[in-house]
Amino acid sequence: MDIAQLGQYVVNGMMLGIIYAMVAVGFTLFFGVLDVIKFSHGDVLMLGAFTGYAVYLGLGALGIEASWLQLALVVIASVLAMAGVGALIARFVVLPLRGAPAFNTLLITLMTGMVLRECVRLFFPAGSNPKPFPRLLPDTQWAFDGFALRLDSVLLFAAGCAAIAGVHLLINHTRLGLAIRAVAQDSETARVMGIGFESIVLLTFALGSGLAALAGVMNGLYYNEINFGMGLLLAVIGFSAAIVGGLGSIYGAILGGFLFAALQTLGAVALPFGSAYKDVFAFAVVILIIAIKPTGLIAERSSERV
């Protein structure tokens, strides 16, 4: 393998890593605030991508063809819609089961995801078929001795980094973030201090779900295709990334996301027929890491949840 081909794999891995990290950060937010694993997260991502696609079709029907305006409206509508869906899931699915065993919450969120997935498959026009996601970013690329760097990949990677950085700044440098951290640390004490527990939970689920919607749109823009089952694998990978990095730590979620993408890239490069077995290789290594270090690579410190 020459350097150009290796560089291409690295660039592709970085793009996958930022998407996985965004999904993993969502899992970390949910767990940090309410100690729950929201397994409908991947299907919210999928629904966000389909929402963006539906908005694009609607704009086309209205004769709005400026790609920058289409992109802005697709992203805004998708993020806001899924933030609302996330808040509704928290309010009517997760919060009522707060005192129930954790297995009940895991099961009901898993079933909620199945409902979302089947609704898209059954009620979206030809929902069981893959959809061609629009190319709304510039198709410029630079070639260097066989290595091609796409401008859309650079823009998507920068957008993902900006989104994660924005979440980090919100959590650590705003009054809302302080309230989220207080609820994550000790919800009862936070109530006594006058922090609205339910409001913070709803806002946190809205934030994580909006981030998932952005990841879904980015995935569609990168691959130029979406399908109703896309959230399944992304959810498993995102959850695995959060676990291996250290569930409850945003830094761990980021590390886990890029680590999983690096393992997939390594599997594709090093193994015979690697592209067919890269997921198997990545999950096998993640299983080994978790077996050796069950608390994750960045263990959660009790004073720094979320």
106-142: per-residue pLDDT in tens?
Answer: 899 999 999 999 999 999 999 999 999 999 999 888 8
Dist. CA 267–CA 166, nearest whole Å: 32
Residue 293 clears pLDDT 60, i.e. is over it: yes
pLDDT attached to residue 299? 63
139 within domain boundaries: no
Of 29-43, 105-119, 257-271, the range with the highest mean pLDDT is 105-119
64 within domain boundaries: yes
Task: Confirm if 56 and 33 have CB atoms less than 8 A apart.
Answer: no
Predicted confidence (pLDDT) per residue in 62-116, tens digit: 999 889 999 999 999 999 999 999 999 999 999 999 888 888 988 999 999 999 9
pLDDT attached to residue 1? 57
Task: Confirm if 11 and 149 have CB atoms less than 8 A apart.
Answer: yes
pLDDT attached to residue 72? 97
Task: Confirm if 21 and 218 have CB atoms less than 8 A apart.
Answer: no
* pLDDT band for position 261 (cuts 50, 70, 90): very high
259 within domain boundaries: yes
Cβ neighbours for 173, distance < 8 A, ≥ 6 positions apart: none
Segments forming the whole domain that contains residue 262: 3-125+152-304
CA atoms within 13 A on the CB side of 175: 2
Sign of the CA dihedral 229, 234, 237, 242?
A: negative
* pLDDT band for position 192 (cuts 50, 70, 90): confident
Q: From 161, 156, 136, select the one nearest 74 (Cα to Cα).
A: 136
What CATH number should be reported for the domain holding residue 47?
Answer: 1.10.3470
Dist. CA 265–CA 4, nearest whole Å: 14
144 within domain boundaries: no
Number of domains in the chain: 1
Dist. CA 85–CA 215, nearest whole Å: 15
Sign of the CA dihedral 21, 27, 28, 33?
A: positive
Question: Mean per-residue pLDDT for 19-35?
Answer: 93
pLDDT attached to residue 302? 42
